[in-house]
Amino acid sequence: MGTFEQRMRNRLKVLRAERDWSQAELGGRLGVSRQAVNAIETGKHDPSLPLAFKVARLFGMPIEEIFSDEPGGDSD
Amino acid sequence: MSREAIQTDRPGERAEVSRRNRFWGLMAGFMLLGGVAGATMVVMERNSGSLPAMLAIGLVVLLTLGVLAGGWWFLRDIDEVERRDNYIACTVALNFYLVVYANWYFLWKGAVVREPDHEILFLATMIVMAGAYSWKKIRP
């Protein structure tokens, strides 16, 4: 990742683990692939706003409690 | 019980398996189209080097409808990461084509190389597109 592009951080992996969901299970619930979930969890892809809202609704939390643009979050 | 069967116990995993099956079904369809076009070219080259007009028109209709309908279905069904990878691969391939064709054209006009070969350009562009797509798959 280049320094010109600051990726979002997120708690997706932790929230998924708390529910004992696999990446495929979460992907299926969100309508995206397992690879997409992995890319988001590892910070290699920032989800679109509609997908971020979908994630927030699925976990019943505000978006800003899952995604953050500040350093020091859960994702790598 | 197979691993696949165990993974489909949950609704999300069932949906993911279904999505994956649709994806690979479409990929098989695109490969079949490519196979038909390739096989026709091989048979044509081994014979007279030309095609009956009706067969040529039939192939054009098949390829055009197949790519348009398949592309529409594909883009409708894939997620945003897959769409991003496809856009990147297409952009890299288009830039490759623009640069290589323009350079080859001017070098040809300057009598440095022979006239641009469109089959080579087409194949090279496809290879570059596949390479860019694979690179994005390995390093999302």
Query: For residue range B13-69, what is the model confidence (pLDDT) as tens digits?
Result: 999 899 999 999 999 999 999 999 888 888 888 888 888 889 899 999 999 999 999
Please give, rounded to a whole number of angstroms, the shortest distance from the CA of A24 to a CA of chain B.
5
The angle subtended at Cα B133 by Cα B35 and Cα B123, nearest 5°, is: 45
User: What one-character DSSP code corresponds to residue A68?
Assistant: E
Report the distance separating Cα B93 and Cα B78, nearest Å: 20
Task: Find the residue in B nearest to A43 (Cα).
Answer: B140
CB B80 within 8 A of CB A48: yes
Contacts of A29 in chain B (CB under 8 A): 11-12, 15
Residue B85's pLDDT band (cuts 50, 70, 90): very high
Contacts of A25 in chain B (CB under 8 A): 10, 12-13, 16
- Closest among B27, B10, B67 to A26, alpha carbons compared: B10
Interchain contact B27–A (C-beta under 8 A): no
Query: ipTM of the assembly?
Result: 0.81
Q: Residue-wise over A51-61: b if at least 16 C-beta within 10 A, else e? A: bbebbbebbee
CB A63 within 8 A of CB A56: yes
Contacts of B81 in chain A (CB under 8 A): 32-33, 35-36, 39, 45
Contacts of B137 (CB under 8 A, 6+ apart): A35, B85
Q: How many CA atoms lie within 13 A of B85 on its CB side?
A: 20
CB count within 10 Å of CB B52 equals 9
pLDDT at A48 over 90: yes
Mean pLDDT of chain A: 87
